[in-house]
Amino acid sequence: MSPPGNGPMVPILGFLTCVAFLYLSFGDLWFDYNREAELGFVSRNGTQFVLDGKPLYVNGWNSYWFMDHAVNDHSRHRVGAMLEAGSKMGLTVCRTWAFNDGGYNALQISPGRFDERVFKALDHVIAEAKTHGVRLLLSLVNNLQNYGGKTQYVNWAWQEGVGLSSSNDSFFFDPSIRRYFKNYLTVLLTRKNSITGIEYRNDPTIFAWELINEPRCLTDISGDTLQDWINEMTAFIKSIDKKHLLTVGLEGFYGPKSPKRLTVNPERWASELGSDFVRNSESPNIDFASVHIYPDHWFHDQGFEENLKFAVKWMQSHMEDGDKELKKPVLFTEFGLSNMNKDYEPSQRDRFYRAIFDVVYKSAKRKRSGAGTLVWQFLIQGMEGFNDEFGIVPWEKDSIQRLMKEQSCRLGRVTGRLLQDKKSTEICSNKQ
């Protein structure tokens, strides 16, 4: 038995003194390290995205199916496998759905009712993206009927006896439906991730929000109805989340009052969809413009060479708008070449991708508004039911993998990001 006294306290006090000395000497370094290890939010400066003080030009892809496949144990691994493959190609952003309204594996079962099991699947997608160093562009609703879309909201209002019209376009003007959508936005943006503990609105893994996929309002081709909805909903989102970038989700068509409707739009119908690229993107709460590139779907009498020329002209026109009118980045959030075209040959995809990547690379070299591209779409093996005429399993196409890596590397070099990113340096030193 030790005698009473202060003997045992001496080594304890010595130890505490040593810890205090180390903290005072090196504590700032420890905290600096942790700050550097955390992801930063992507912002914008004029026509460029900015991350950690340097310009960011995006090379990424679409995998709309992430949340749906993360719900079930047997398919959840596909999310991590796809994110890992994207990361190994140096890809920085993946666009995916953060909605599923009604139907199978619905996130929103009915207005204001959510399936926690599906919400946890979205939590998993965001946590996995962070693990692989990939950011997410999360789309909030579909103009199309897939995964519910605006049709489901209209049906809900009709079923509850509060709908003003059975038209799908009432999604944009019906007060009850607007309330449904705002409630969904509030729940989603303030969701606390069950894995990371971070609210979505505070998570820099999320690159940006996309208001709606490919909005059209055919019942008002003037564009006023859609424009009012965009202004209202973007202001609402920014009232909850001021940290993330926000885009509309446009295809890029010019409206009936735009002079470019005659010189750039694919055909006359494109100006009669109730949307307008410049007007919609000018909305004060929109941080960057979005454009899709599908000439083989928009024209019915053109061959590959004509479609290729149109794609380049289409991109250059929207970059001109970004530089001169919008003063905002322009992100080409979907592009692809259908393998169902009559004159299709596999080598055409390589040429199509290369031409589009070249436009963005030249934009990056000149510090212009062409801010990047997202391929539609990447999948993994065994997903035939989710494939379409544009889908690619990237590791089955060596030429596509090489093109994707090369684009990542040259964008990294021209922006100076390659020098500060060890992972990118490794990818680009072994890109062949």
* pLDDT at residue 419 in the model: 62
pLDDT grade, residue 420 (50/70/90)? Answer: low
* pLDDT at residue 39 in the model: 81
* pLDDT at residue 254 in the model: 98
pTM: 0.90
* pLDDT at residue 418 in the model: 77
Residue 158 maps to a domain: yes
Mean of pLDDT values over 417-430:
76
The residue ranking higher by pLDDT, 144 or 24, is 144
For 206-275, give the DSSP string: EEEEES-BS---TT-TTSHHHHHHHHHHHHHHHHH-SSSEEE--------TT-THHHHTSSSGGGGSSS-
Q: Which domain holds residue 255?
A: 48-392
Q: Is the pLDDT of residue 23 over 80?
A: no
* pLDDT at residue 95 in the model: 98
Least confident of 3-7, 272-276, 360-364: 3-7
**How high does pLDDT run on average in the chain?**
91
Q: Is the pLDDT of residue 11 over 60?
A: no
Residue 33 maps to a domain: no
Residue 430 maps to a domain: no
Mean of pLDDT values over 245-271:
97
Helix, strand or coil for residue 39?
coil
According to DSSP, the residues that pair with 61 across neighbouring strands are 94, 375
Domain count for the chain? 1
Residue 355 maps to a domain: yes
Residue 407 maps to a domain: no
Least confident of 16-20, 157-161, 199-203, 424-428: 16-20
Kindly list the catalytic residues.
214, 334
Residue 36 maps to a domain: no
Residue 12 maps to a domain: no
Least confident of 13-22, 33-42, 78-87, 273-282: 13-22
* pLDDT at residue 280 in the model: 98
Residue 52 belongs to domain with CATH number: 3.20.20.80
* pLDDT at residue 83 in the model: 98
Model confidence pLDDT, tens digit, residues 182-235: 999 999 999 999 999 999 999 999 999 999 999 999 999 999 999 999 999 999
Residue 13 maps to a domain: no
Cβ neighbour number for residue 71 with a 10 Å cutoff: 20
pLDDT grade, residue 426 (50/70/90)? Answer: confident
> CB of 136 within 8 A of CB of 125?
yes
